[in-house]
Amino acid sequence: MKDIQISPSEWEVMRVVWTTHPITSKEISRILNEKKDWKLATTKTLIGRLVKKGMLTTAQNGRQYDYSPAVTEDESLKEASEHLLNQVCTRKVGELIEMMLESRTLSIKDLESLEKIIQMKKENAPEVVACGCITGQCTCS
């Protein structure tokens, strides 16, 4: 993926397509109707944007189109997390991760996995993370 930004509504469509594909616009709309009060036209607009962005592929199936993901959910999650982390001072990344952990419920398995990663990271962690911001972007300097 090449730093493709998608809106929260586009994420909703992608989550359906990642789960069930190939899938038609009507099927996507029906699934999202439980959560969103969107007309079929709204769903089709979002699908069109995702196709233009290279997130979805299309295949004609008679008079309708079937949609499939052009990128995996893991690729998209990694891209989104990198985008978010690149927007904060490197010294605030730890705080951001803390906030994320505090605001969500995690399974025992998730927590054990995080503990392992933290232990591995501790082996090579610096005392202080260097700030990569330019003057005026943060309060580090």
**Local confidence band at 4 (pLDDT 50, 70, 90 cut-offs):** confident
Question: Would you call 118 exposed, middle or buried from its count of C-beta atoms within 10 A (0-12, 13-18, 19+)?
Answer: exposed
Taking only the tens place, the pLDDT of each residue in 13-62 is 999 999 999 999 999 999 999 999 999 999 999 999 999 999 999 999 99
Structure confidence at residue 140 (pLDDT)? 82
For 63-91, the pLDDT digits (tens) are 999 999 999 999 999 999 999 999 999 99
Q: Specify the pTM.
A: 0.85
C-beta pairs of 7-11 under 8 Å, 24+ apart in sequence: 9/36, 9/46, 10/46, 10/49, 10/50, 10/53, 10/55
The whole-chain average pLDDT of the chain stands at 94
Flag whether pLDDT at 137 surpasses 70: yes
Measured distance CA(10)–CA(15) in Å, rounded: 9
